[in-house]
Structure 1
Amino acid sequence: MTTPQQDRQLLDKLSPSRMLLPVVIGLGVVGFMFWRSYKPGDLAGLANAKPLWLFITLLVLLARDFGYMYRIRHIAEKKLSWKQSVDVIMIWEFASCLLPSAVGGTAIASLLLNKEGIPLGKSLAYIMVTAMLDNLYFVVAGPLVWLLAGHHIFPHETLGSGGLVTTLKVAFWVSYVFTMAYSALMAYALFVNPHSVKRFLVRFFSLKGLHRWRRRAYHHGLEMVHASAELRGNGARYWAEAALSTAFVWTARYLVIGCLIAAFINVEWGEFGTIFARNLVYKVVLLIAITPGGAGFAEGAFPMFFRSFAGSDTMTNFILLLYRIVTYYLYLVLGTIFLPRWVGRVFGKQAAREVMAS
């Protein structure tokens, strides 16, 4: 089980007081963008809103969340009830909103599973599976969206053909190669020889200049060894369902922006595919965000990728605001609803009162 110190760190990371900074940054950036771009008549297109596409957006969001709940319950070998799965995903999403994009809710996910009664070793193994499958989706989807969108996957119309777009291309493909290599390493550790991977990590981070991460690499290698032992024996059906549910949730996640744009702007199917493809590059940019939930970075980078599909600057900002409401602020609100109930259930009512007061 987790230690009291780990419990305290978990509750600190989930403190609702952490919401203030990302909300101020995010809404401040959007407000400034509206102030700079707004002209009378820019939002006339709202009168042509397509209810069907708004309904499809809602269905995609619901399907995505259901997919997350199904996936975590399946990967955890049904040790979670549906109610527990709902709580875990809602708190996980809430944590992702409060932590930097590069960290995300994965940093506390194993502790969430542990508090639901799953041994810490198995919790770590299950979260490593989700991380590996998430990375593999990016590895598989990268070449596919390149075939789908070609050079349009990068926003040449806003960045031109100079140094900025070249930098973006390099960042995307460096991220792709790193993710592919790390995914292969994780897969080899989980399915083939975890001890050799642990030794490799320790030796690699023993090189000059990398010593400071040696202890962390050792613990990560140890986690891979334990995860491999915990997951040994799971059959092909287990991995097939885990992979398919991962593909489902990430595909739904990348569909949201296209659905929102199509709700107000006439979008051809080819353009819809390009919007989907650009989401992968957009998410790579957000990995450098140091703010909670990528606040400020997500808003600032959005027009660069999607302005050419949304019409005017003001319509782009409006769609951006809707996008952040349904994929970010909504989960802050849901987090404040689910968090005290979950904390009260696993830590006690006194702890729930202390968290909500912090």
Structure 2
Amino acid sequence: MDQNQKTIVKSFSPIKILVPVVLGLGATAWLFIKDDKIGELKGIAEANIWWLVAALLVLLIRDLGYIYRIRALTDKFLTWRNSLDVIMLWEFASAVTPSVVGGTTVATIILNKEGIPLGKSLAYVMLTAVLDNMFFILAAPIALLATQGEVFPTFNLDPSDVDKLKMAFYISYSLIAIYTFIMIYALFVRPRAFKWLLLKITSYSFLRKWRVNAFQHGNEIVWASEQLKGKNFGYWASAILSTIFVWVARYFLLNCLIAAFVDVTFSEHMLIISRNLIFWIVMLIAITPGGAGIVEMAFPSFFGLFLGGFSSVVVVLYRLITYYPYLVLGSIFLPKWIAKVFGNKAQEEEALAPEMNR
């Protein structure tokens, strides 16, 4: 079993799948039990079926957008089927890793094993991170201005909790902005200067143990930068527009679920989208896999104002639709993908691994 295969198997180990499931289900159960809200589950029968169908369609459209984007970013090197495999496994990796990590290392290996050279694989993964983060950076100020401060929730929160929430948002936003602009400088402006800076920083005695890693990361940046040179307008237009598309679809899915239970005006739809943006910027610093547990706990404060007694029901549906399916789909796609890229022997080794560890 080579190192890449070991990384894949380790990243998708049963325990890493079990942890977010336990955290998410535990937090959901606590939401219902603490205020004796189990009876609220009956509210699902009151939902507008057409809005629920719309939510599923938006989810499908969003995933098609991700598939289109990765195919466009690879200059159509990936087939539609291979693009589907990549996105399902990437979503799987994101679901079983903390939000701040996001499965980027695994994504690089996945692209590389699909036949894309390492330098290009690194470039595509870094580029998706930059595009996604730029969406947050540009959309958040628009949301803040458009909602006149209403984007931060006050429902069932003490003023001190609202202040803490705002602080968490500004910290997360600042970290995203700093990281993104450093990556833009490193990838598109002065990659070799960035590599030199990494080596310079790690030349000090107390940082010298990271010098080898700094050298490797510096090389990766240089390789990635070289792959992105000379891309035409059409390439960048597809990358940017598809990024906007998938994130708007991602946020609008929640609007569909909320509208399935309560009447929502146009201005409330805009506020929900804006608040969802802020919600996920805060969740990006979550330390649990896929934000499991934390999302469920924070959800009522952000969106309870619109839902009232349906808040706990909607968060259950939201996670059932947007999170848990990728754990199931990833578990289905993974063995077939390992057999495809590593061979049948690798699949046999993966199946034997749990037995060997007993």
Query: What residue is the counterpart of 1:168 in the other structure?
Result: 165
Deviation, structure 1 residue 45: 4.4
- Checking the alignment, whether the CA contact within 8 Å between 1:16 and 1:336 is kept in structure 2 is no
2:225 matched to 1:267? Answer: no
Q: How has the CA–CA distance of structure 1 residues 151 and 7 changed in structure 2, closer, same or farther, with 3 Å as cutoff?
A: same
Deviation, structure 1 residue 204: 4.7
Whole-angstrom CA distance in 1 between matches of 2:24 and 2:317: 12
- The root-mean-square deviation of aligned C-alpha atoms, in Å, is 2.2
- Checking the alignment, whether the CA contact within 8 Å between 1:16 and 1:356 is kept in structure 2 is no
Q: Partner amino acid for 1:336?
A: S
Q: Partner amino acid for 1:355?
A: E
Q: How has the CA–CA distance of structure 1 residues 354 and 31 changed in structure 2, closer, same or farther, with 3 Å as cutoff?
A: farther
SS, match of residue 260 in structure 1 = helix
2:327 matched to 1:329? Answer: no
Per-residue CA deviations over 1:5-64 (Å, capped at 9, x if unaligned) read 232112211234432222122112111211222358645644432122112111110111
Whole-angstrom CA distance in 2 between matches of 1:154 and 1:116: 42
- Checking the alignment, whether the CA contact within 8 Å between 1:101 and 1:289 is kept in structure 2 is yes
2:186 matched to 1:189? Answer: yes
- Checking the alignment, whether the CA contact within 8 Å between 1:154 and 1:305 is kept in structure 2 is yes
Q: How has the CA–CA distance of structure 1 residues 75 and 206 changed in structure 2, closer, same or farther, with 3 Å as cutoff?
A: same
Q: Where do 1:226-241 residues align within 5 Å?
A: 226-241=223-238
Q: Partner amino acid for 2:329?
A: L
Whole-angstrom CA distance in 1 between matches of 2:2 and 2:106: 15
SS, match of residue 274 in structure 1 = helix
2:339 matched to 1:344? Answer: yes
- Checking the alignment, whether the CA contact within 8 Å between 1:198 and 1:221 is kept in structure 2 is yes
Q: How has the CA–CA distance of structure 1 residues 166 and 85 changed in structure 2, closer, same or farther, with 3 Å as cutoff?
A: same
Report % sequence identity.
Answer: 49
Deviation, structure 1 residue 212: 6.1
Whole-angstrom CA distance in 2 between matches of 1:100 and 1:140: 24
Whole-angstrom CA distance in 2 between matches of 1:298 and 1:39: 18
- Checking the alignment, whether the CA contact within 8 Å between 1:265 and 1:311 is kept in structure 2 is no
Whole-angstrom CA distance in 2 between matches of 1:49 and 1:114: 44
SS, match of residue 34 in structure 2 = helix
Deviation, structure 1 residue 289: 2.6
Q: TM-score, normalised on structure 1?
A: 0.91
- Checking the alignment, whether the CA contact within 8 Å between 1:15 and 1:355 is kept in structure 2 is no
Q: How has the CA–CA distance of structure 1 residues 208 and 335 changed in structure 2, closer, same or farther, with 3 Å as cutoff?
A: same
Q: Where do 1:285-324 residues align within 5 Å?
A: 285-312=282-309, 315-324=310-319
Whole-angstrom CA distance in 2 between matches of 1:179 and 1:347: 35
More displaced, 63-72 or 265-274? 265-274
Whole-angstrom CA distance in 2 between matches of 1:67 and 1:147: 28
Q: TM-score, normalised on structure 2?
A: 0.91
More displaced, 178-187 or 220-229? 178-187
Q: How has the CA–CA distance of structure 1 residues 323 and 220 changed in structure 2, closer, same or farther, with 3 Å as cutoff?
A: same
Query: What residue is the counterpart of 2:245 in the other structure?
Result: 248
More displaced, 138-147 or 40-49? 40-49
* Correspondent of 2:23 among 25, 28, 49: 25
Q: Partner amino acid for 2:316?
A: L
- Checking the alignment, whether the CA contact within 8 Å between 1:15 and 1:356 is kept in structure 2 is no
SS, match of residue 285 in structure 2 = coil
Whole-angstrom CA distance in 2 between matches of 1:135 and 1:178: 10
Query: What residue is the counterpart of 2:121 in the other structure?
Result: 123
Deviation, structure 1 residue 90: 0.5
Q: Partner amino acid for 1:349?
A: N
Instruction: Count residues with an aligned counterpart.
Output: 353
Deviation, structure 1 residue 286: 2.2
Unmatched runs of 5 consecutive residues or more in structure 2: none
Whole-angstrom CA distance in 2 between matches of 1:39 and 1:228: 53
- Checking the alignment, whether the CA contact within 8 Å between 2:59 and 2:250 is kept in structure 1 is yes
Whole-angstrom CA distance in 1 between matches of 2:133 and 2:192: 22
Q: Where do 1:91-170 residues align within 5 Å?
A: 91-162=89-160, 164-170=161-167
Per-residue CA deviations over 1:279-337 (Å, capped at 9, x if unaligned) read 2222233233322222111111111211111111xx21111111111111111111121
More displaced, 274-283 or 61-70? 274-283
2:68 matched to 1:70? Answer: yes
More displaced, 325-334 or 279-288? 279-288
Q: How has the CA–CA distance of structure 1 residues 324 and 121 changed in structure 2, closer, same or farther, with 3 Å as cutoff?
A: same
SS, match of residue 156 in structure 1 = coil
Whole-angstrom CA distance in 2 between matches of 1:263 and 1:217: 50
- Checking the alignment, whether the CA contact within 8 Å between 2:32 and 2:38 is kept in structure 1 is no
Q: How has the CA–CA distance of structure 1 residues 57 and 199 changed in structure 2, closer, same or farther, with 3 Å as cutoff?
A: same
